[in-house]
Structure 1
């Protein structure tokens, strides 16, 4: 009997120790080892199951946690709360709600978990409803959770109202409201609330300090910091990090040296500041002085070497690192990805023991950016737990490769689409020339209740620019003003381009003038706009103004201003600007610049001079250059030079119909019908497919698309008959329409 009791006692002690080990491994994130311990246990109790469920949930493996929960031989209240906590941690709100409704019993903690879950997800009405339904006396945790939810969402009146209803207000409750003000950058209201607080602690003071740092007001932050009686390490680190983020590394180091005592967090903050400012040698000196280093210290230094492209030194440091760090290995892997050394990146990826979502997404994104979509797809399909970033990466990858049908298919499979998901598909349409579809999906995005950001607006305005959809562009402009993204560089520059391409160059100039800060892209957009609208003089004037504002032109600037000279016939100005590129600005001309000069000379009838430039230029002639020369040959009816330029253009663009049509028209205008017929035969031999012309028109704020010879359009036959009659009349008057010279259909 005593032996049996002793055996039972030993068994219970073994389970107890195994549970402790399981809990420890789970807390350390060593999930695979925890699973191995769990599977090896011959006897498990409720604590064992609860620990393993928690471990799965904290590592994002919610489905496995739920399977284990369902397989439990018996559950207690802790089991139910653990599973709900897992759902809440991973933002599975509906699943948490369903499980909560099924609970056989609930305690205050159950209600607190569910209220927290709703509040974190922004479903504050549901959180409030559950709060009101609580049968027992409401705990301060429930009050604070709901107050914090209201405050973080910017609903300060609701937060303060609930605070005033609390039976016993705590400093935590007041700090929750204060945190809402500072996190939402409402520092005027935050200061007023701070001064009204009945009591304050160092947490309250650090919240105010962090608020000033968030809005970049470091002078007020420093003034507030000096008013703190006993600043703690958090206070010092907040100030140091603020200075580092704003590039004021000298002031950050001064504060660091003044610290009465430093912990590893303060050392890491200062090292991170040096790394951010790319002062890697200074960062390394400080790193070597550290009395104690943790995984973040090593990872920060490794990331620093990666940022300056010194991957060899980063790999050496990884080899010396006494910890296993997924973050450090991912940093090096990301460095290889940036240099498009995907095989080296994959080798690092295979060495990582605990591959997290960031590792997988980095590799998938790298393959997609390099155009190696087959390998991206293979990794995506192998990925054990895909997140929204994974799906978005695949959408962007397919869009980048021009495979929009596959991009749409992936997009439609995303369960919870975020703003990036919508931006990926919208920008994909815009980049691949599907402008009407880009605007359609922007409308669908709004209907889904997703808020557009600056990227959405920039893509939408780009689509409007290419469609010349002025009315839709104006509506996006109005939305930009209401959303607050009007101050963004990209959105402002897209607005300039949209108005310019829609022929509203004065409105484009007005947008430019109203922008708080402009960059070289803004100047380029406006210069290109004046060029497009035929105002070469104004484009050159803008170029001069750009110099007076100490903005250095780039290659794109000269493409715009040279194009303006070409379209306006400003030959001397254009040649002078071209000559100044290398002399005054140290910009080496590329093919696009030579194409502008060839076009400039060609339009002026100086064809042999243009041809001489093509033969002597140090860069290889592209399709733009030969196309400009061939276009000039048509204008000035130079068939001999056209016969030389055309084969060069056909070699570069063998399947572009317009090139064959251009040469055919040149021959037709001089009566060389045998050459016209030869072009027709050549098109058929090379399998050139004529793309029907497509046009867009705005009707009642809707962009309508139609193409030539589209039998689906109403009254097509009637339109064709009228066109035939007009063509016949033109023939009778001796005017032969160019479009009828060559029928490629």
Structure 2
């Protein structure tokens, strides 16, 4: 090719790489032409290509271009890093930045803020501290933009002492900087520091403005200091400042959490007087506040007074309906929004998914998530933690894994709430090893994360691991709370570790200042009962410093079932009937105890009492996931397509049990009928149906995971133990109390649950 022709070709390619008009397809075509002609060594052309790939978010291609540079320079790295930062790909920013440093290229003052933004974006405090050190030695610490980016990075990462030190080094801190630190202190519950800095503004020649007040109100609200947020709002108003829509929205959120309906109504009046009733944020906050205060008529009135459908207020209404258990109305509102083609956003979908998850409509939550993806709405770091509990509730492991992969692809896996939700989902799906792997991979962990993994081990009866995690929690600097001790005491109770249980019960108050609550006493009652000290458990209840609730008496009644202590069961049941007169589970449990002892008069009395109160036993149902689809089986349900095959297989297993000398637990039938009839009744229990359906629907030796909405009965427990040995299957059943891990004829619970 002649030089003249080459130059013309070069100009043609360069003009085709116009960032304003070049599509990703055109960019790739130009890239191919460049490779064919061998002009890739042109640094200007390569940088242009890298920029286009980055702008189209085709970062894999952009990195390949960068790799092909014979000599990479600051410009090429800056182009890629700034593009990654623009699209919030913060983890990738830090990886490319580290690679640049390893190539011996130092950043300039224009690139350093992007790195600080990335550290703030994923809470990478250690990387931020290293970046600060690099800035100090490279001579850029005096640059105001670089210093400001470091300051805001520390504020967002809640390293406020470092931020305050930088503030002290600033020659003339401005209002934005001071307001950011004040809001940071407020957000972390540092009441005195926030107020002290707020009132020191005058010494620096600055006067508080609406932004400063707003930062304090919003910060205290976010940190759970709701009363303080309301006090600051009141002080602002009395000081002559006129709160704007942002201040009003924040204080309404705080009042909702306080259920301060009286002050909320006054704020509503203020909103009308100040002409803020047309502010979309304020209207949404009003709807949310009334929803939290369970004032449905006022909530709907505010929505109706808008006069038009607006997505923010619709989302708030859906959330309010959900919070008050009005799922059908929430679904109807969501359907109405869809029909009017208002443009559902991520908040709309997330609110509806959360509504279904929180109200036991787990399969519908999974369906909604699938529909959301089909419409092109991308889930975020709020959606995934709302969806994952639905996966855990019904052991929809494959759906949970899909959400996990989605989180990785969308680069939200580093979010602490997404990570915690994944830890919980895997634990509830019976995959405690995967749960721990997710926990260990989390870049940052909070109290929720630690409590989730401790609770996961407790659910699986792994007391040793639960205690080890509690110890690691404290070594990491995280202080345990009452939930932490509930989980570890529960783990001890499931293994009958009396000494360890008493130890943790003691240090909870003596070393950590946490006074035992109802749930802690309930765990100790279960622990003592498991160790055969049921009378000691009863005396502990009598000596409690407050009146025992249904949680404590329920723990004693469950233990009476295991030990067949009828007299103590009657004492516990009497208390439960007073505390929870409408809970059918307590009546059923006492009836079980009577029937297991052949006391049919007692069974009849309980049945008559239930009829008198018009109480019915909650129908048993179990869930099992087969080939990415979740199936629900109801007790005694003969409408299942494979019902005849399931019953036939159950009958064959029952005959094999008898042949080998296994005894069915027919004492769990509440009717005084013949043994054969009792076996027929027990064969209809949903967990048995789910296990046999799994046997018929999966290859040999495939593990089965079943979720049961009620406590597993003794006969089902015995039968599933037999099936695990006879069919050489690992079977995991999660009931309302714990996990039962059946392997080779044995259960992890040790036959105590």
TM-score normalized by structure 2? 0.66
The CA distance in 2 between the partners of 1:266 and 1:458, in whole Å, is: 32
Alignment of 1:182-331 (within 5 A): 182-184=85-87, 208=111, 210-216=113-119, 217=128, 241-242=152-153, 244-247=155-158, 278=190, 279=193, 280-287=195-202, 289-290=204-205, 295-297=210-212, 299-300=214-215, 309=228, 311-312=230-231, 314-321=233-240, 325-331=244-250
2:265 equivalent to 1:346:
yes
Correspondent of 2:610 among 683, 708, 716: 683
Deviation of 1:638 after TM superposition, in Å, equals 1.5
Match of 1:364 in 2: 287
Deviation of 1:617 after TM superposition, in Å, equals 1.0
SS of the residue 1:705 aligns to? strand
CA RMSD, 1 decimal: 4.6
SS of the residue 1:215 aligns to? helix
Alignment of 1:621-660 (within 5 A): 621-660=548-587
Deviation of 1:565 after TM superposition, in Å, equals 1.9
The CA distance in 2 between the partners of 1:471 and 1:642, in whole Å, is: 42
2:319 equivalent to 1:396:
yes
2:519 equivalent to 1:604:
no
Deviation of 1:626 after TM superposition, in Å, equals 1.7
The CA distance in 2 between the partners of 1:623 and 1:496, in whole Å, is: 30
Is the contact between residue 124 and residue 150 of structure 1 (CA under 8 Å) also seen in structure 2? no
2:455 equivalent to 1:528:
yes
2:500 equivalent to 1:573:
yes
* Higher deviation after alignment, 721-730 or 302-311: 721-730
Is the contact between residue 424 and residue 453 of structure 2 (CA under 8 Å) also seen in structure 1? yes
Deviation of 1:532 after TM superposition, in Å, equals 2.7
The CA distance in 2 between the partners of 1:230 and 1:633, in whole Å, is: 72
Q: Which protein shows a greater Rg? A: 1
Match of 2:299 in 1: 376
The CA distance in 2 between the partners of 1:639 and 1:472, in whole Å, is: 44
Deviation of 1:545 after TM superposition, in Å, equals 4.0
The CA distance in 2 between the partners of 1:633 and 1:416, in whole Å, is: 56
Change (3 A) 1:179 1:321: farther
The CA distance in 2 between the partners of 1:158 and 1:536, in whole Å, is: 49
* Higher deviation after alignment, 723-732 or 301-310: 723-732
The CA distance in 2 between the partners of 1:516 and 1:529, in whole Å, is: 19
Deviation of 1:259 after TM superposition, in Å, equals 6.5
Change (3 A) 1:363 1:720: same
Give CA-to-partner distance per residue, 1:518-567, whole Å, 9 cap, x none: 34433333333333333333333443444444443322222222222222
Give CA-to-partner distance per residue, 1:594-629, whole Å, 9 cap, x none: 111111222232221111111111233222322221
User: 5+ unaligned residues in a row in structure 1: which ranges?
Assistant: 1-118, 129-146, 160-174, 195-204
Is the contact between residue 237 and residue 269 of structure 1 (CA under 8 Å) also seen in structure 2? no
Give CA-to-partner distance per residue, 1:89-116, whole Å, 9 cap, x none: xxxxxxxxxxxxxxxxxxxxxxxxxxxx
Alignment of 1:473-512 (within 5 A): 473-512=400-439
Deviation of 1:457 after TM superposition, in Å, equals 2.8
Give CA-to-partner distance per residue, 1:713-735, whole Å, 9 cap, x none: 23547766887999999899985
Change (3 A) 1:180 1:528: closer
The CA distance in 2 between the partners of 1:148 and 1:369, in whole Å, is: 48
The CA distance in 2 between the partners of 1:422 and 1:341, in whole Å, is: 29
Corresponding pairs, count: 583
The CA distance in 1 between the partners of 2:205 and 2:322, in whole Å, is: 47
The CA distance in 1 between the partners of 2:182 and 2:484, in whole Å, is: 39
User: 5+ unaligned residues in a row in structure 2: which ranges?
Assistant: 1-19, 28-49, 63-77, 101-107, 120-127, 673-680, 685-753
TM-score normalized by structure 1? 0.67
The CA distance in 2 between the partners of 1:568 and 1:274, in whole Å, is: 43
Higher helix share: 1
The CA distance in 1 between the partners of 2:563 and 2:586, in whole Å, is: 17
Change (3 A) 1:724 1:376: farther
Change (3 A) 1:423 1:290: same
Deviation of 1:271 after TM superposition, in Å, equals 5.9
Deviation of 1:467 after TM superposition, in Å, equals 1.7
Alignment of 1:368-447 (within 5 A): 368-384=291-307, 386-414=309-337, 415-447=342-374
The CA distance in 1 between the partners of 2:409 and 2:610, in whole Å, is: 52
